[in-house]
Amino acid sequence: MPLPPRQHRLPAALLCGALLLTGCAGGASGPSASASGAARTLDNCGREVEVRGDGPRRAVSLNQGTTETLLSLGLADRMAGTATWTDPVMKGLEKENARVRRLAENNPSFERVLDTEPDFVAASFASTLGNGGVATRDQFEKLGVPTYLSPSDCAGKDNTGGGDGVRTAPLTMETIHREVRDLARVFGVEERGEELVERLDARTAAAKKGLDASDVTLMYWFANAESPYMAGCCGAPGVITRTLGARNVLDDTTEEWPQVSWETVADRDPDVLVIGDLTRRSQTAESATKKIAFLESNPVTRNMDAVRHKRYVLLSGQAMNPTIRTVEGIEQVAAAIRRFGLSR
């Protein structure tokens, strides 16, 4: 994406990192470490990010996942904008979220982000901070705007091919915890980060306590009716599946969200269908209602065991992405397995 003309009108404070982090060439024009507080350095997806003082004051989050992490850390007053939503905001964060300007439901333009005069930009996906997305990390950092990418989309993941990437190692909750701790450190609220991680761990432990799902098979449908995006082995659905001791019937692919045929779906015939209940409108069959109507009317899928017995688990898109809401997925799938009488 070419740089918009408005970049030349950015304030000097933005152009050379008057508030915080690296990426500013010609460091003489920015404040010294002693003037802005001790520096802290993060290694983020192969880039070094240096944080000064108490962190950002005008952060922009380009994906719902990073947005909800920042809001959960109590940082609404230090955010200048959010974008790219698949679902309503996480329960309990409605008031905080209402305080932050929503720049776009999907990807905003580079210029629209720069209009907020950001001093930090965070995203959940490399596709958002890359060619074809909002802008590349280099484009932001050349303007003195430091960037952060969720480690869940780079650690053990190859995004160089098409689609949503390939997992070279299974995602774990520890990687999601790393994002919480990283962002807490960026903003100087490390204690809040540790408290959030402890709450997530406690919820996970409670959800799986006493559950034996070793005989249960699952399949995860995110979106699209023509050529459905189903979860491969090792992303956020893999975290849910492994935590509960169940099996994903598509665990023979390391693609994050491979598109498969309905014949393949019917042939794998899982015990339970985990369905994304999305509010966005960029694919067909986004809502759970439309997905279920399709499954129950399509001659290829209507005789599947999960469809005939209506064994559906409805999850937000964020619970199926690598975010703090993956714990919601663990809780809801565990509860459904018990409800369906499938736990041994």
For residue 30, is it within any domain? yes
- Could you tell me if 220 and 325 lie in one domain? yes
More confident: 312 or 37 = 312
* Residue 13, domain member (yes or no): yes
Q: Which of 128, 149, 170 is the last residue of a domain?
A: 149
Lowest mean pLDDT among 51-55, 72-76, 278-282: 51-55
Rounded distance between C-alpha atoms, residue 151 and residue 66, angstroms: 11
**Residue 192 located in a structural domain:** no
Is the confidence at residue 27, as pLDDT, over 60? no
Number of domains, the chain: 2
Name the residue with tokens 């905080």.
96
pLDDT higher at 34 or 220: 220
Residue 137 is assigned to a structural domain of this protein: yes
- Give residue 280's pLDDT: 85
Q: Which residues contact 307 (CB under 8 A, 6 or more apart)?
A: 273, 295, 296, 301
Helix (H, G, I), strand (E, B) or coil at 164: coil
Per DSSP, the three-state class of 118 is: coil
DSSP secondary structure letter of residue 89: P
pLDDT digit string, tens, across residues 289-313: 999 999 999 999 999 999 999 999 9
Span 103-116, average pLDDT: 97
pLDDT per position as a tens digit, 47-57: 998 877 889 99
% of the chain residues with pLDDT over 90: 83
Of 107, 132, 149, the domain-final residue: 149
Point out the domain boundary residue: 149, 168, 191. Answer: 149
Domain assignment of residue 232, given as a range? 211-339
Same domain, yes or no: 218 and 325: yes
Whether the predicted pLDDT of 316 surpasses 80: yes
The predicted pLDDT at position 12 comes to 38
Cα distance between the two ends of the chain: 54
Around Cβ 343, how many Cβ atoms within 10 Å? Answer: 18
* pLDDT (mean) for 76-104: 97
For residue 49, is it within any domain? yes
What's 44's DSSP letter?
A: E
Q: Are residues 136 and 32 in the same domain?
A: yes
Do 143 and 215 sit in the same domain of this protein?
no
The pTM (predicted TM-score) of the whole model is 0.88
Under 8 Å between Cβ of 315 and 321: no
Who has greater pLDDT, 27 or 117?
117
Q: Are residues 145 and 236 in the same domain?
A: no
- 220 vs 44, 75, 117, 195, CA distance in Å? 29, 32, 39, 30
d(CA 101, CA 234): 34
Say if residue 339 is exposed, middle or buried (CB neighbours under 10 Å; 0-12, 13-18, 19+): exposed
Whole-angstrom distance, CA of residue 56 vs CA of residue 42: 14
Can you give the pLDDT at residue 195? Answer: 98
327 and 226 both lie in a single domain: yes
Residue 25: which pLDDT band, with cuts at 50, 70 and 90? very low
| Residue 37 confidence (pLDDT) | 62
Mean pLDDT confidence for 172-186? 97
Using alpha carbons, select from 192, 200, 198, 197 the residue that is nearest to residue 55: 192
Helix 326-339 and helix 236-244, axial crossing angle in degrees, nearest 10: 40
Q: Is the pLDDT of residue 267 over 80?
A: yes
Check whether 23 has a pLDDT greater than 70. no
Residue at 297 is within a domain: yes
192: left (phi over 0), alpha (psi -120 to 50) or beta: alpha
Work out the percent of the chain whose per-residue pLDDT is above 70. 89
Is there a single domain that holds both residue 143 and residue 220?
A: no
Residue 258 in this model has a pLDDT that exceeds 80: yes
Q: Are both 120 and 10 inside the same structural domain?
A: yes
Cα gap 55→186, rounded to integer Å: 6
Q: Are residues 224 and 304 in the same domain?
A: yes
11 & 130 share domain: yes
Higher-pLDDT residue of 111 and 2 is 111
Q: In CATH, what number is assigned to the domain containing residue 265? A: 3.40.50.1980
Cα angle 247, 249, 278; round to 5: 95
What is the average pLDDT across 151-164? 93
Average pLDDT over residues 197-209: 98
User: Quick one: 239 and 105 in the same domain?
Assistant: no
Residue 22 pLDDT > 50 = no
Q: Is residue 280 part of a domain?
A: yes
Same domain, 123 and 239: no
Query: How many Cβ atoms sit within 10 Å of the Cβ of residue 6?
Result: 13
Is a pLDDT exceeding 50 seen at residue 324? yes
Half-sphere exposure of 343 (CA within 13 A, CB side): 15
The answer to the question of residue 173 being in a domain is: no
Give the pLDDT of residue 51. 75
Cα dihedral across residues 235, 241, 245, 246: positive or negative:
negative
Residues 48, 69: contact at Cβ < 8 Å?
no
Mean pLDDT of the chain: 89
Least confident of 6-10, 49-53, 126-130: 6-10
